[in-house]
Amino acid sequence: MDNNVKDLVIVGGGPAGLSAAIYGKRAMLNEVVIEKDIYSCGQIAVTDRVDNYLGLYGESGYGLAMKFKEHAKKLEVPFLEGEVVNIKDGDVKELELKTGDKLYTKAVFIATGSRHRMLKCKGEEKLIGAGVSYCATCDGGFFRNKKVAVVGGGEVALQDALYLSNICEKVYLIHRRNELRASKNLQNKVTGLANIELLLNCEVEEIVGDSVVEAINIIDKTSGKKDCIQASGVFIAIGMEPGTEIVKGVLELDKSGYIITDDSCRCSLNGYYAIGDVRTKQLRQLVTAVADGAVAISSYEQDNLI
């Protein structure tokens, strides 16, 4: 690999990274997108259908991801399969890949996203996108008038349960502790609804189904009693993990590990921009990830007087 200095290297090929790459290409920047898996397009690729992206109602997550990738390829955005394992700061930043190869660039765009914490129970991974979901607002509409379960006891889990209670026949709220962690206001709202049933001190042992979710096997941690709940969907809300391993010790992170940025996606050091779900922000959705890519390129242009 040569030592030519890029204008920018985009680490991550999800919607945020691809959006930045498209805007960067239009600005005639010397760039490259690095992806661990050249066929990956972020979390959207495992979303069954996308109902909340303007103008593309009902598009499959994978289909929409492929459209994003095709758009970038038509503009001749260069892609490189590899994993960044280390970043050295400087006027020219050095990115070391797992292979030992190195890239040199004036700017780094971190678009490594965040990943949902998984239950790691039997059946979960197999049924992702077939009834197992990590986003109630994304996928809840597909379970209208059906029975579903939400797993978790924090703010997001209770908000998901409330949202789903408006469109689903019944919502089971499963939490492994004997009390919820969300605000009292949210707890009062949840306990006040007849179609939300709390299953506290319970853990999910297995999500059951051949091709789609059919039921959930749970165990009561106090009594040891096991039960099987009939449900068509399982919404797992036990937190997120940002993909910030490569910038720990380089960039400033918040207490949850997300990269701290300003509204223009600039990080704590010059020449670094964080985009998409990896950065501090109020809303992590497809539309905000795509917007981040455009905003960050604009910031780069301002910073470099392009």
CA nearest to 106, candidates 20, 215, 30: 30
pLDDT at residue 42, as a whole number: 75
- What would the pLDDT profile of 55-114 be if each residue is shown by its tens digit? 988 888 889 999 999 999 999 999 999 999 999 999 999 999 999 999 999 999 999 998
Distance separating alpha carbons of residues 30 and 210, to the nearest angstrom: 47
Per-residue confidence band for 248, with pLDDT thresholds at 50, 70 and 90 = very high
CA–CA separation, 87 vs 269, rounded Å? Answer: 13
Please tell me the predicted confidence (pLDDT) of residue 74.
Answer: 97
- Residue 302: CB atoms within 10 A of its CB come to 11
According to CATH, the topology of domain 125-236 is: FAD/NAD(P)-binding domain (3.50.50)
Q: Measured between alpha carbons, how far is 185 from 150 in angstroms, rounded to an integer?
A: 18
pLDDT at 15 > cutoff 80: yes
Is pLDDT at 249 greater than 60 in this prediction?
yes
pLDDT over 70 at 2, yes or no: no
Q: Is a pLDDT exceeding 90 seen at residue 240?
A: no
- Cα 211–217–220 angle (5° rounding)? 165
Is residue 3 scored above 70 in pLDDT? no
Average pLDDT over residues 33-58: 80
Long-range contacts from 90-98, C-beta under 8 angstroms, 24+ separation: 91/271, 92/5, 93/9, 93/271, 95/9, 95/11, 95/34, 97/34
- Mean pLDDT within 287-292: 97
Can you give the pLDDT at residue 43? 74
Q: Is the dihedral of CA 8, 9, 12, 18 positive or negative?
A: positive
The per-residue b/e assignment along 95-119, b for 16 or more CB within 10 angstroms, e otherwise, is bbbeeeeebbbbbbbbbbbbebeeb
Mean pLDDT value across the chain = 93
Task: Show which residues are catalytic.
Answer: 135, 138-139
For the chain, what percent of residues have pLDDT higher than 70? Answer: 97
Q: What is the CA radius of gyration of the chain?
A: 21
Token reading at 162 = 């409330």
Q: Structure pTM?
A: 0.74
Which SS3 state, helix, strand or coil, does residue 47 take? coil
Q: How far apart are CA 263 and CA 302, in angstroms?
A: 14
Check pLDDT > 80 for residue 275: yes
Q: What average pLDDT score do residues 274-289 get?
A: 94
Beta strand segments in the chain, E: 5-11, 31-35, 79-81, 84-88, 93-97, 102-110, 114-116, 132-133, 147-151, 170-175, 196-200, 202-208, 215-220, 226-230, 233-236, 240-242, 272-274
What single-letter amino acid sits at 196? I
Domain ranges across the chain: 5-116+240-303, 125-236
> If you average pLDDT over residues 173-202, what whole number do you get?
95
Q: Cα separation of 139 and 227, whole Å?
A: 26
CA pair distance 28, 46, nearest whole angstrom: 32
125-236 shares the fold of 5-116+240-303:
yes
pLDDT of residue 1: 44
CATH architecture of the domain formed by 5-116+240-303: 3-Layer(bba) Sandwich (3.50)
Q: Among all chains, which residue has been given the structure tokens 């991550």?
A: 12
